[in-house]
Copies of this chain bind each other. A is one copy, B any other.
Amino acid sequence: MSKLSTEHLLGIKYIQAEDIQTILATAQNFKEIINRPIKKVPSLREITVANLFFENSTRTRLSFELAEKRLSADVVNFSASGSSVSKGETLTDTVNNILAMKVDMIVMRHPNPGAAVFLARELQKYPKSAHARIVNAGDGTHEHPTQALLDAFSMQQKFGNLKGLNVVIVGDITHSRVALSNIFCLKKMGANVKLCGPATLIPKHIESLGVQVEHDLKKALEWCDVANVLRIQLERQDIKYFPSLREYALQYGVNRQVLDSLSKPITILHPGPINRGVEITGEVADSEHSLILDQVENGVAVRMAVLYLLAGTPNA
């Protein structure tokens, strides 16, 4: 099988369109495998993976853990609570220590934007750690590359190709690592991207990434083939970017009424966890046009592909 042009998956920004194609093609193979009764392959049985989650997560950690186990890797988990992080150790020292235990790959979620890139650069200074593979499982408001890849895979499964596809990303663009990774991924794959949300939640000059901004939800949806609806992060609402959840839902919530008013049905994506009745209604989330649970299934296949391809590069 083919390999990637990079040793780590730090962000979609840092990989090539060809890498994305390789990952999606490989994910297709793994999707078939995880739909068989025996879902395990021996591909990574010589590999040990540490999942380092410095921030809470359910679905992403479970998805990576299942991907690793189905590749027959040895898996150890570490979460920030119960860690030496509070003991004043640097991130680089923590990871160098784990790697010294003959761990081959690090899947890391971290609250700080750029943590994965920083870590990969730091490890180059330590000959014994330089061989490690880093997979960014979300670094603050920066990137969440495997989410963008599973979104792309889900769209490709439905539409065959992303080239020329019209995709609108709806919601809090400013604070969303999912949005940024999706923008990079969709542009590299030739899709057209619009962003939709309150002006307070869309970064200025974002058009420089080759995307358009449309503040009117109905107009944005009318234009698109796919709407990727971001969750409003209730837990981060200490600063107010919009008057209330109810007002947000009225203006930017994706519901049956607005979808029925469009000239054609559109496909709905959401990275989860969903807030039913806020950014999306339950009716829309559960509808035939929603790929939400397909995205979750595809996430395991895409993560298997990423781990498999990175582990397979020559200097592993």
**A residues in contact (CB < 8 Å) with B:** 34-35, 37-40, 45-46, 48, 50, 53, 56-59, 62-63, 65-66, 69-70, 74, 76, 78-79, 81-90, 93-94, 96-98, 100-103, 125-126, 128, 231, 233-235, 272-276, 278, 286, 293-294, 296-297, 299-300
**Contacting residue for A97 out of B53, B81, B278, B293, CB 8 A:** B293
- Which residues from B are CB-within-8-Å of A90? 276
Q: Can you list 7 A-B contacts with CB-CB less than 8 angstroms, sorted by A residue number?
A: A37-B46, A56-B82, A56-B86, A63-B101, A70-B74, A88-B273, A126-B293
Known: A87-B231, A89-B274. 19 other contacts (CB 8 A): A35-B102, A39-B102, A50-B62, A56-B82, A57-B82, A59-B97, A66-B74, A66-B103, A69-B74, A70-B74, A81-B82, A84-B273, A88-B234, A88-B273, A88-B278, A94-B273, A97-B272, A100-B293, A101-B300
Number of copies: 3
Whether the Cβ atoms of B102 and A272 lie closer than 8 Å is no
Whether the Cβ atoms of B297 and A93 lie closer than 8 Å is no
**Given A37-B46, A82-B81, A276-B90, are A98 and B62 neighbors across the interface (CB < 8 Å)?**
yes
In order of increasing CB-CB distance, the 9 nearest A-B pairs are A89-B273, A100-B296, A58-B84, A100-B293, A84-B273, A56-B82, A100-B297, A37-B46, A58-B83
